[in-house]
Amino acid sequence: MKPTRQEQILRLLSESGQLHVEEAVTRLAASPATIRRDFNQMTEAGLVERIRGGIKLVNQVDLLPFRAREVKNANEKLEIARRATVFLSEGDVVFVDGGTTTLQLAHSLPPIKLRIITNSLTLAAAIERRMMGRGPWEVFLTGGYLFPGTGLLVGPSAQYSIAQYHANWALLSTGGITEAGIFNDNEHVVESERLMIKHADRVAVLADESKFGHHAMRHIANLDQLDYLITNRRTEASLPFEHLQGRKLKLIYTS
């Protein structure tokens, strides 16, 4: 699916943090009036802040609306999701949490029968759009409180629902990875992610290179509770994890 112009603008912003009208006109082959209109709409939506002659990302990337984070490192996230689906087999039951990397699974699922259990309305809708009533996948939503601006179902009802299932796999996103484990900035989903880990046979965490070496606010799980870390490339931040190879946890690169 071709990205919209505003998605392209967000990708350009992810490169340098700022974008001026003149550069956007050149790189996107659009008129100055069109670019200014996009900048105004994105500012009103809270995706960006205005600066003289252009726009910039808001200060805290983790606080960006979901749509803004979705397009950051989008190609890398898609490749990570594709690599994760190699593990899936016909008839598997799969927990998937709500994150911008796990969202790419909607575009990567193999054409085999799968049952997807998720707390993400965004993921469920993306899978439904891809199926168009004909796909081999069944989608189960957890229920719960719809947390504003995230598309995530959270709270005791969501947790109770997850605890009723058993899955072959849990495919999870994360806000940060250190040798102390994996972390999330949204404390409302941490308990749900912990339950997905507890009730799954195997656990794979999907994370682009930017997540390695960084803490987030809430601890989700220790590394020995995971089976795979799937990321896009080998970096200095990921090197400390390679000594775990050959034990339970395996580190997998897409390139």
Domain ranges (residues) in the chain: 5-69, 73-253
pLDDT digits (tens, 9 = 90+) for 193-219: 999 999 999 999 999 988 998 888 899
Helix (H) or strand (E) holding 192: helix 187-198
pLDDT digits (tens, 9 = 90+) for 1-37: 455 787 788 778 766 778 999 999 999 999 999 999 9
Q: Give just the sign of the alpha carbon dihedral 179, 207, 159, 137.
A: negative
pLDDT digits (tens, 9 = 90+) for 163-185: 999 999 999 999 999 989 999 98
According to CATH, the topology of domain 5-69 is Arc Repressor Mutant, subunit A (1.10.10)
**pLDDT band, very low/low/confident/very high, at 73 (cuts 50, 70, 90):** low
pLDDT at 4: 72
Class of domain 73-253: alpha beta
Residue 109 near residue 129 (C-beta atoms within 8 A):
no
Pick the residue with more confidence: 49 or 116? Answer: 116
Those residues whose C-beta lies under 8 Å from the C-beta of residue 6, and which sit 6 or more positions away, are 38, 41, 42, 47
